[in-house]
């Protein structure tokens, strides 16, 4: 197999972890993710992962329930740690080494993140799950993912979603929406597309980190993307 990439950053949304559920973590979905991740680890690809927390808590939505925004964001960041622990456990269960890093020091739940330790883990065949977002309120895990992807010198950021790429409009609402095979960062701005928040898109643009948006919920797609199959949308 001719691997296009040696090191990647995979972004998974917290919401996808819910599977068919309304809240929390679906065991079937997380097991499927783990299997797909092991499959590409077995191809020799070095893998860093950032997971969102929206299946448990989002800071912004907490404000309508009376939660202070900064504390709400801290709750959201902790939610990403919970998801990361769950994914590491699912990976270990199928024989894939994984290590959780945390943006804020909370040893022994995870190791305090540093670029060098995360790279060392990946070079040893361990999946580095980098949790806690950026460690700061008012950011998202998309931005955390862009930041970590750049830091660990990933060649690409794979954004796994439930949609199979970027469309001219939301395909779940507009049946005439058309999919892009590729699109430039600038076109995302000019068309006002909601692919990721602008902070994340700008970080990727300024640091030349390409993004591939693809449907991670279809089993086997992660391997297909990394084998160079033309699924999803490339942002360059
Ligand atoms: N969050 C934060 N700083 C970060 C990353 C995340 O404060 O650097 C908080 C924020 O409250 C966010 C929540 O964590 O709503 C969950 O992250 P996100 O919404 O990105 O998760 P997803 O929607 O991908 O599940």
113-116's contacts with Cβ under 8 Å and 24+ in sequence apart are 115/151, 115/152
The predicted structure's pLDDT at residue 4: 83
Q: Enumerate the known binding-site residues for ATP.
A: 11-14, 54, 58, 161, 167, 170
Q: What is the pLDDT of residues 1-25, one digit of tens each?
A: 456 899 999 999 999 999 999 999 9
Give the C-alpha separation, 14 to 75, whole Å.
13
Query: Do the bridges between strand 156-161 and strand 111-112 make them parallel or antiparallel, or are there none, so unpaired?
Result: unpaired
Q: For residue 224, what pLDDT band results from cuts at 50, 70 and 90?
A: very high
Please compute the mean of the pLDDT values over residues 186-204 and round it to a whole number: 93
Measured from the Cα of 135, ligand 1's closest atom is: 8
> Measured from the CB, is residue 76 less than 6 Å from ligand 1?
yes
- Give the start-end residues of each E strand in 88-203: 98-102, 111-112, 127-131, 156-161, 182-183
What's the confidence (pLDDT) of residue 2? Answer: 55
| Structure confidence by residue, pLDDT tens digits, 26-57 | 999 999 999 999 999 999 999 999 999 999 99
Round to whole Å and give the CA distance between 85 and 100: 7
Site to substitute for ligand 1 among 77, 83, 101, 144, most atoms within 8 A of C-beta: 77
Rounded CA separation 49/191 (Å) = 29
Distance 77 CA to ligand 1 centre (A): 6
Strand 156-161 to 98-102 pairing: unpaired
Phi (first) and psi of residue 71, to 5 degrees: -65, -40
ipTM of the modeled complex: 0.96
Percent of the chain with pLDDT over 90: 90
Domains defined for the chain, CATH in brackets: 7-235 (3.40.1160.10)
Tell me the best of 49, 56, 59, 72 to mutate to test the pocket of ligand 1, counting ligand atoms within 8 Å of each CB and taking the most: 59
Q: What is residue 159's three-state secondary structure?
A: strand
Give residue-wise pLDDT tens across range 49-89: 999 999 999 998 888 899 999 999 999 999 999 999 999 99
Give me the mean pLDDT over the 191-204 stretch: 93
User: Both tokens of residue 14?
Assistant: 């917290």
Does any ligand 1 atom lie closer than 6 A to the CB of residue 77? yes
Cα–Cα distances in angstroms (integers) from residue 50 to residues 101, 144, 148, 190, in the given order: 10, 7, 8, 27
pLDDT of residue 202: 96
Give me ligand 1 centre to Cα 12, in Å. 12
């Amino acid at each position: 197999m001719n691997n296009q990439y040696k090191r990647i950053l995979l972004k998974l949304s917290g919401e996808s972890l819910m599977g068919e559920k309304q809240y929390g973590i679906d065991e079937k979905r997380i097991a499927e993710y783990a299997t797909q991740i092991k499959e590409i680890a077995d191809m020799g690809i070095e893998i860093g992962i950032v997971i969102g927390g929206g299946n448990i808590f989002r800071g912004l939505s907490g404000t309508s329930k009376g939660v202070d925004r900064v504390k709400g964001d801290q709750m959201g960041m902790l939610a990403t740690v919970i998801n990361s622990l769950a994914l590491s456990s699912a990976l270990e269960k199928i024989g894939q080494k994984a290590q959780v890093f945390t943006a804020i020091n909370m040893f022994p739940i995870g190791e305090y993140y540093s670029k060098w330790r995360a790279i060392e883990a990946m070079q040893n065949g361990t999946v580095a799950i980098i949790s806690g977002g950026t460690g700061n309120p008012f950011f998202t895990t998309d931005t955390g993912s862009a930041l970590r992807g750049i830091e660990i010198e990933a060649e690409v950021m794979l954004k796994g979603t439930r949609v199979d790429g970027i469309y001219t409009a939301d395909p779940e609402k507009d049946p005439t929406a058309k999919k892009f095979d590729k699109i430039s960062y600038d076109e995302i701005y000019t068309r006002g597309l909601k692919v990721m928040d602008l902070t994340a898109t700008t970080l990727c643009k300024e640091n030349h980190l390409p993004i591939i948006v693809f449907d991670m919920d279809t089993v086997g797609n992660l391997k297909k993307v990394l084998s160079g199959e033309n699924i999803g949308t490339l942002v360059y």
